[in-house]
Amino acid sequence: MGEMEQLRKEADSLKDQITAARKAVQDTTLQEAAAGVTVVGRVQMKTRKTLRGHLAKIYAMHWGTDSTLCVSASQDGKLIVWDSITTNKVNAIPLKSSWVMTCAYAPSGNLVACGGLDNMCSIYNLKGKDGNVKVMRELAAHTGYLSCCRFLSDSEIITSSGDCTCVLWDIETGTQKTVFAGHQGDCMSLAVSPDFKFFISGACDFTAKLWDIREGQCRQTFGGHESDINAIGFFPNGNAVITGSDDATCKLYDLRADQELITYQDSSIMCGVTSLAPSLSGRLLLAGYDDFNVNIWDALKAERVGVLAGHDNRVSCIGVSSDGMACCTGSWDSFLKIWN
């Protein structure tokens, strides 16, 4: 037997082992375990603020950790930092490339980042001496578009790319610390664990991967989706991962049981999920869809308990503030809305 054939057999055998090991711990389902839990009552939220100012589709938004400021990115070529309570624009940052697909707010509040079809992640210092917001660093090495970025601190950021890799960067030196390779399709989204030790990525190979940041290794791979994964997030306790896909479903995977526990789907929903965010307790899952709506799911019962309807085009991004007080949606209709 040639080595190639041997390796193929070994790979198949290992895949069977993983399937069997997952089945061996499947003594129940989340559906069964939560049978005695009452579905959450109908959730109704209102638009409290509309953030107006972008002139084109909004592709991304991210809350600052103070739960008041947030940053948004639009293909009008601007990053805007908003005070979500007053609706004032704190900063309006013109970008070199208008083809932006992602943005992020550093936990410190000092930096924001963005990137897109320029294949780069640009870091901006909001707290520069002369008050002007300037590009601090341009992180260039990806050979595909930048789909998502998230700061670990003011000195480190993780990016995901259409080149199928994710990268941990040293912002100070502008160099790649670690390349996380393994996905077989464009990486579309990433999320960092609450303890900052792991991150998860969702890709166009229909899988989500859990990565150990310091070891530089993929620990687990989750399949089951039937199309591209566009959105990914951690359940608040860091023990589960939620994905949103073009297959019109969201799924919850438990990290310690190493398997999918539940799927959030409805026969009436036939369009892709673009974005998602859990509420503070994890009980509610808010997911943005191509059909201009946000569906609110009871995360334990997988039942739809509310809808946020108010945008006139696709909801491209969503985020729940750190104190859980508000949900922000961004849309191709050029507006951001604050709901609670």
Partner 1 sequence: MNCVALPRMSSKTHSSNNIAHARRTVQQLKIEASIERIKVSKASADLMNYCSEHARNDPLLMGIPTSDNPFKDKKPCTIL
For partner 1, the binding residues (CB under 8 A) are: 3-4, 7-8, 10-11, 14-15, 17-18, 21-22, 24-30, 33-34, 37, 40, 43, 45, 48-49, 68, 84-85, 143-144, 162, 182, 185-186, 204, 217-221, 235-237, 239-240, 254, 256-259, 261, 279-284, 299-300, 320, 323-327, 338, 340
CB of 94 to partner 1, least distance (A): 28
Name the residue nearer to partner 1 (CB basis): 154 or 212.
Answer: 212
Q: How crowded is residue 147: how many other Cβ atoms within 10 Å of its Cβ?
A: 28
CB of 52 to partner 1, least distance (A): 16
In angstroms, how far apart are the furthest CA atoms of the chain?
70
Residue number with CB closer to partner 1 (20 or 267): 20
DSSP-assigned beta bridge partners for residue 135: 124
Q: Smallest distance, Å, CB 46 to partner 1?
A: 9
Taking the complex as a whole, how short is the minimal distance between the CB of residue 163 and partner 1, in angstroms? 9
Kindly tell me which of 113 and 308 has the beta carbon lying closer to partner 1: 308
Nearer to partner 1, 133 or 277 (CB): 277
CA–CA separation, 276 vs 223, rounded Å? 18
Minimum CB separation of residue 264 from partner 1 in Å reads 14
Min CB(83)–partner 1 separation in Å: 11
Distance of closest approach, residue 24 Cβ to partner 1, in angstroms: 8
Q: Which residue lies nearer to partner 1 by CB, 124 or 253?
A: 253
How far is Cα 284 from Cα 302, in angstroms, rounded to an integer? Answer: 10
Q: Cβ closer to partner 1: 137 or 311?
A: 311
Contact 72, 330 (CB under 8 A): yes
Q: Which is nearer to partner 1, 7 or 140 (CB)?
A: 7
Q: How far is the CB of 157 from partner 1 (least distance, A)?
A: 24
Strand pairing category for 217-222 and 250-254: unpaired
For the CB of residue 271, give the shortest distance to partner 1 in the complex, in Å.
20
Q: Which is nearer to partner 1, 50 or 175 (CB)?
A: 50
Q: What are phi and psi of 12, to 5 degrees?
A: -60, -40
Residue 77 or 236 with smaller CB distance to partner 1: 236
Which are the contacts of 129, defined by CB distance < 8 A and separation ≥ 6? none
